[in-house]
Chain A
C-alpha cells in the first residue's frame, strides 16, 4: 500500500513538472508599437503627390527639430507620449503652418526585457492652418501608407 502511495506521489509530482509551458522570448523591435503619424502632401489643384520643402518642422513643448531643410512628399511625425495633444509647426520662409492632433494613448508592458510601450489611437485633427487636411486613418500601424492627407 505504501509503495502504491509513493508511486502515486511520484507520478503526481512529475505531472507538475510537465505542466510548465515554455515562455516565448519576445523580439522587442517587433513588439514596440508605432509612434509616428504619417503625413502626405498633395497638390490642392490636381490631387497628385507633392514634394514640399520645409525649412524645419518643430513641435510645441520640445526644442527638437523633427525635420530640417527637407524636400519630401511624406513626413513621419512622432507623437508626444506624455500628452494627449501634439502640435507641429511647419516653417517655410516667412510662413508658419500649424497642425494640432488629439489622440488617446495607452501604456502596456510588453515584457520584463522589452519594458513598456506606448500605443496611440483615436487620432483626431483638432486644429490646422493648412488649406485642406483630411484624416484618413485614426490609428497607427506599420502597414498604413498614410494617416493624414494635406492639400498644399
Chain B
C-alpha cells in the first residue's frame, strides 16, 4: 500500500488538486448575481416537488476559435521549443464538441548530444458546460478527449563508452505515432465583448506509441514525456466567440412546489442565497 502511494504520489497529488479546484470553482460559481425577483421562493416544508422542465436547444449557435497562450509564450522566449496550438469548439445545448490542432518542435542539447523532435497532434472530444445559465456565458466544464500525434525525432550522440572509446551514434525515427485519452476540466471567462480567456487542465492517460526503433522518443507532441504512461497538462486559451444565430441565455428552471393541505403558510420564504437560486 505504501509502495503504491509512493509510486503514484504525483498522480494522486494531481487528482486531489483537481478535486480541490472543482470544489473551489463551484463555490465561486455560487456567487453569481441574480435578479431580485428570484430571491424569494415558495415554501419548501412538507411540500411535494416536481422535477423542473429543462428546455433543450441542440441547434448550434456559435463557434469559439482561438490559440493556446502558454505555447506561444514559450515559443517566444525559448530557442529550442516551438508550440502552436489552435482550438475550436461548437455548442450543442450545454455540450460542446472541441478540436485542438497543434504543432510542436522540441530540441535539447549539451556537449555530448543533440536531440530534436517535431510533429503534429490533434485532440477531439466533448465537454459539458456546468454553468449554462451564466449571463456572460462564462463556462466551467468537464470533458473527455481522444488524441493522436504523428512525429519524427533524431539524435546525434558522441560519448565516451569506457573500453570502446569515444564513439558517435546517429539515430532517427520517422513516422512515429501515438494516441492517448484525456480527462479535462477548465474555465472560460469573458474578458471583453466576444473575447474569452480560458484554461484547461488535462490528465492524459492510456498512452500507446508505435513506429520507433532503437531510439526511444523523449517527447510526444501534445502529450509530453514519452517515458510516462500518464501526464498532466495545463493550457491557457485566448478565444473569440463567433455567433451565427441569436441564442438567448437559458433561464434556470425553478422547482414547482405543490402544497399539501397541512403545509405551513406560503409567506415563509427561503433565504435569498438558497441553492435553487444559484448558477
Docked CA distance A118–B169 (Å): 10
Q: Which residue from chain B places its CB closest to the CB of A80 in the assembled complex?
A: B164
| A5 close to chain B: CB less than 8 A | yes
Distance (Å) between the CB of A123 and the closest chain B CB?
A: 15
| Cross-chain contact B189 with A64 (CB below 8 angstroms) | no
Docked CA distance A36–B161 (Å): 11
| B28 close to chain A: CB less than 8 A | yes
| Cross-chain contact A106 with B164 (CB below 8 angstroms) | no
| A8 close to chain B: CB less than 8 A | yes
In the assembled complex, which residues on chain B have CB atoms less than 8 Å from the CB atom of A115? Answer: 110, 112-113, 157, 159
Q: Which of A1-28 contact B (CB under 8 A)?
A: 1, 4-5, 8-9, 11-12, 15-16, 18-21
Docked CA distance A122–B226 (Å): 22
| Cross-chain contact B33 with A4 (CB below 8 angstroms) | yes
Specify which of A21, A35, A107 is in contact with B232 (CB 8 Å cutoff).
Answer: A21
| Cross-chain contact A35 with B162 (CB below 8 angstroms) | yes
In the assembled complex, which residues on chain A have CB atoms less than 8 Å from the CB atom of B232? Answer: 19, 21
Q: Which of B2-31 contact A (CB under 8 A)?
A: 10, 13-14, 17, 21, 24, 28, 31
| Cross-chain contact A62 with B215 (CB below 8 angstroms) | no
Distance (Å) between the CB of A112 and the closest chain B CB?
A: 5
| Cross-chain contact B214 with A8 (CB below 8 angstroms) | no
| B201 close to chain A: CB less than 8 A | yes
Given known A-B contacts A4-B33, A21-B232, A108 and B227 have beta carbons under 8 A apart:
yes
Specify which of A16, A65, A105, A116 is in contact with B159 (CB 8 Å cutoff).
Answer: A116
Given known A-B contacts A9-B189, A12-B187, A19-B234, A108 and B31 have beta carbons under 8 A apart:
no
Q: Which of B158-181 contact A (CB under 8 A)?
A: 159, 161-165, 167-169, 171
On chain A, which size bracket covers the interface?
20 to 34
In the assembled complex, which residues on chain B have CB atoms less than 8 Å from the CB atom of A78? Answer: 161-164
| B266 close to chain A: CB less than 8 A | no
Docked CA distance A62–B199 (Å): 56
**Interface 1/0s, chain A 93-117, versus B by CB < 8 A?**
0000000000011111100100110
Given known A-B contacts A108-B218, A116-B155, A82 and B189 have beta carbons under 8 A apart:
no
Q: Which residue from chain A places its CB closest to the CB of B14 in the assembled complex?
A: A21
Distance (Å) between the CB of B31 and the closest chain A CB?
A: 7
Specify which of A4, A16, A21, A80 is in contact with B199 (CB 8 Å cutoff).
Answer: A16
| B279 close to chain A: CB less than 8 A | no
Distance (Å) between the CB of A27 and the closest chain B CB?
A: 16
Docked CA distance A59–B115 (Å): 30
In the assembled complex, which residues on chain B have CB atoms less than 8 Å from the CB atom of A112? Answer: 108, 110
In the assembled complex, which residues on chain B have CB atoms less than 8 Å from the CB atom of A12? Answer: 187, 189, 197, 199
In the assembled complex, which residues on chain B have CB atoms less than 8 Å from the CB atom of A11? Answer: 24, 28
| A74 close to chain B: CB less than 8 A | no
Distance (Å) between the CB of A3 and the closest chain B CB?
A: 11
**Interface 1/0s, chain B 48-67, versus A by CB < 8 A?**
00000000000000000000
| A75 close to chain B: CB less than 8 A | no
Q: Which of B99-122 contact A (CB under 8 A)?
A: 108, 110, 112-113, 115
| Cross-chain contact A19 with B17 (CB below 8 angstroms) | yes
Distance (Å) between the CB of B203 and the closest chain A CB?
A: 11
In the assembled complex, which residues on chain A have CB atoms less than 8 Å from the CB atom of B167? Answer: 81-82
| A54 close to chain B: CB less than 8 A | no
Distance (Å) between the CB of B7 and the closest chain A CB?
A: 13
Contact surface of B with A, Cβ cutoff 8 Å: 10, 13-14, 17, 21, 24, 28, 31, 33, 108, 110, 112-113, 115, 136, 138, 155, 157, 159, 161-165, 167-169, 171, 187, 189-191, 197, 199, 201, 214-216, 218, 227, 232, 234, 236
Known: A78-B163, A115-B113. 16 other contacts (CB 8 A): A5-B136, A8-B189, A12-B197, A15-B24, A15-B199, A20-B234, A21-B232, A78-B161, A80-B161, A106-B214, A107-B214, A109-B115, A115-B159, A116-B115, A116-B157, A118-B161
Sample of 5 A–B contacts (CB below 8 Å): A16-B236, A19-B234, A21-B13, A65-B163, A115-B112
